[in-house]
Amino acid sequence: MLRTVSATRYVTPLREGGSVPAIIEADDGQLYVMKFIGAGQGAKALIAELIAGELARVLALPMPEIVFIQFDPMIGRSEPNPEIQDILRASAGLNLGLRYLSGSLAFDPNITPTVAQTLASHIVWFDAYVTNVDRTARNVNMLLWEENLWLIDHGACLYFHHTWTDYLARSQSNFPLIKDHVLLPLATNLAEADLTLRPQITPPIIQQIVNLIPTAWLGHEAQFTTPADHRAAYVTYLQRRLESSSQFVQEAQRVHAQFV
């Protein structure tokens, strides 16, 4: 179960990327990076953030805590930017947040100490599974905090759900965009990563994670009659993709061989 907190203070927007998240303080006294349902891709970005983030946690990858955040737009009434005000007004109700890692620094592969090959292989495997297009040198979406690497920002994962056409066939994709992954040159143990990680994502685990999606975020697709049908499609996609992990592992290995 994910905790639900209520936003009590709008601290500052983070003017990076298209989603314009913000740092907020919640009623538990903690700071969170809040992702707004009224921004960019709306609920789909939050669903991807939720599913990918909780899958990463199952695999013991370093993820900040994810929480649901109840948000009252009046909290951000002092925000001077009218475009951000529009996002705040459209985000009343339930949103998503990640624990704010105060003092963290963006991971820079050119100046940061190298990542262990096993961890790099696990992250590459995970990102290929969830089709994460946003772990590149241009946009690493990893932080260094307290001398450890942390994964953030998974809203661009699972991009199949922006159009549900042929989604089961697309679950078999070898994900050629893995070629741009910032950690791929260090991912020397991809076969081992597949053997280690794949068994950890069981059908009950997939179902439990998909069940976390709030019903209000589902049911807005023409292909699905009910939110339950919509939820079941996510489960089926994730299971089918896992069953075809050899496809994306072989593609990652093929590209990795070019770095040797």
Residue 122: the pLDDT is 98
Judged by DSSP in three states, 61 sits in coil
Q: 87-112, pLDDT tens digit by residue? A: 999 999 999 999 999 999 999 888 76
Residue 109: the pLDDT is 82
Where a domain ends, among 55, 70, 99?
99
Strands 4-13 and 66-71: parallel
Segment (H or E) for 31:
strand 31-35
Residue 175: the pLDDT is 98
Same domain, 141 and 249: yes
By the 10 Å C-beta count (0-12 exposed, 13-18 middle, 19+ buried), 215 is classed as: exposed
Same domain, 111 and 78: no
Same domain, 114 and 212: yes
Q: 230-256, pLDDT tens digit by residue? A: 999 999 999 999 999 999 999 999 999
- What whole-number distance in Å separates Cα of residue 50 and Cα of residue 146? 24
Same domain, 243 and 122: yes
Q: How confident is the model at residue 147 (pLDDT cuts 50, 70, 90)?
A: confident
Same domain, 238 and 157: yes
Residue 259: the pLDDT is 85
Residue 16: the pLDDT is 63
Same domain, 253 and 217: yes
Same domain, 79 and 114: no
Same domain, 68 and 139: no
Q: How confident is the model at residue 149 (pLDDT cuts 50, 70, 90)?
A: very high
pLDDT of residue 17 exceeding 60, the answer is: no
Same domain, 36 and 164: no
Q: Is the pTM of this model over 0.85?
A: yes
Residue 18: the pLDDT is 57
Return mean pLDDT, the chain.
94
Write out the residue range of the structural domain in which residue 132 sits: 105-259
Where a domain ends, among 40, 64, 99?
99
pLDDT of residue 173 exceeding 70, the answer is: yes
Same domain, 32 and 109: no
- What whole-number distance in Å separates Cα of residue 233 and Cα of residue 227? 10
Q: Which residue has the higher pLDDT, 168 or 219?
A: 168
Structural domain count of the chain: 2
Residue 14: the pLDDT is 87
Mean local confidence (pLDDT), 69-76: 95
Where a domain ends, among 69, 99, 129?
99
Q: How confident is the model at residue 114 (pLDDT cuts 50, 70, 90)?
A: confident
Q: What distances in angstroms separate CA 92 from CA 3, 27, 219, one per listed residue?
A: 18, 16, 19
Please name every residue paired with 106 in a beta bridge, in sequence order, or none if there are none.
Answer: 143
Same domain, 55 and 165: no
Of 107, 105, 112, 115, the closest CA to residue 137 belongs to 107
Residue 112: the pLDDT is 63
Same domain, 9 and 89: yes
